Amino acid sequence: MSSSFTRLRRLRTTPSMRRLVAETRVDPAQLVLPMFVADGIDEPRAIGSMPGVVQHTPDSLRRAAAEAVEAGVGGLMLFGVPDPEDKDAVGSAGADPDGVLNRGLRALRADLGDSTVLMADTCLDEFTDHGHCGVLDTAGRVDNDATLPHYEAMAVAQARAGAHVVGPSGMMDGQVAAIRAALDDAGFDDVAILAYTAKYSSAFYGPFREAVGSSLQGDRRTYQQNPANRLESARELLADVEEGADMVMVKPALSYLDVVRDVADRTDAPVAAYQVSGEYSMIAAAGERGWIDADAAFDEAVLSIVRAGASIVLTYAAVQVAQRLR
Ligand code: PBG
Domain extent listing, the chain = 29-325
Atom of ligand 1 nearest to the CA of 34: 15
- Sequence-distant (6+) residues with CB within 8 A of 245 are 176, 193, 194, 195, 197, 269
Whether 251 is a known active-site residue: answer: yes
Phi and psi of 33, rounded to 5°?
Answer: -95, 115
Q: Of the candidates 120, 114, 73, which has an alpha carbon nearest to the alpha carbon of residue 100?
A: 120
| pLDDT on residue 16 | 98
Residue 142 C-beta-side C-alpha neighbours within 13 Å: 24
Atom of ligand 1 nearest to the CA of 316: 15
List the residue whose alpha carbon is closest to atom 10 of ligand 1.
Answer: 205
| pLDDT on residue 3 | 63
- In angstroms, rounded to a whole number, what is the distance separating the alpha carbons of residues 113 and 159? 13
Report CA(272)–ligand 1 centroid distance (Å): 15
- In angstroms, rounded to a whole number, what is the distance separating the alpha carbons of residues 24 and 7? 21
Q: Which residue pairs, CB below 8 angstroms and at least 24 apart, start in 291-295?
A: 295/320, 295/324
Report CA(211)–ligand 1 centroid distance (Å): 10
At 193 the three-state DSSP class reads strand
List the residue whose alpha carbon is closest to atom 2 of ligand 1.
Answer: 169
CA dihedral sign, ordered 237, 184, 128, 36? positive
Torsion of CA 30, 27, 236, 132, to 10 degrees: -50
Whether 199 is a known active-site residue: answer: yes
List the residue whose alpha carbon is closest to atom 11 of ligand 1.
Answer: 205
Query: Does residue 298 line the site of ligand 1, with CB under 6 A?
Result: no
Query: Does residue 208 line the site of ligand 1, with CB under 6 A?
Result: yes
- In angstroms, rounded to a whole number, what is the distance separating the alpha carbons of residues 276 and 297? 15
The pick from 32, 35, 205, 315 for probing ligand 1's pocket by mutation, whose C-beta has the most ligand atoms within 8 angstroms, reads: 205
Query: Does residue 125 line the site of ligand 1, with CB under 6 A?
Result: yes
CB 151 within 8 A of CB 122: yes
At 290 the three-state DSSP class reads coil
CATH class of 29-325: alpha beta
Report CA(98)–ligand 1 centroid distance (Å): 23
List the residue whose alpha carbon is closest to atom 12 of ligand 1.
Answer: 276
Report CA(207)–ligand 1 centroid distance (Å): 9
| pLDDT on residue 2 | 59
Report CA(253)–ligand 1 centroid distance (Å): 13
For 128-224, where are the alpha helices, taking DSSP H only? Answer: 144-161, 175-185, 206-211
CB 182 within 8 A of CB 159: no
CB 171 within 8 A of CB 222: no
Report CA(267)–ligand 1 centroid distance (Å): 24
Q: What is the CA radius of gyration of the chain?
A: 20
Q: One of 199, 233, 279, 283 is an active-site residue; which one? A: 199
- Per-residue pLDDT of the chain (326 residues), as tens digits, is 556 788 999 999 999 999 999 999 999 999 999 999 999 999 999 999 999 999 999 999 999 999 999 999 999 999 999 999 999 999 999 999 999 999 999 999 999 999 999 999 999 999 999 999 999 999 999 999 999 999 999 999 999 999 999 999 999 999 999 999 999 999 999 999 999 999 999 999 999 998 998 989 899 999 999 999 999 999 999 999 999 999 999 999 999 999 999 999 999 999 999 999 999 999 999 999 999 999 999 999 999 999 999 999 999 999 999 999 98
pTM for the full model?
Answer: 0.97
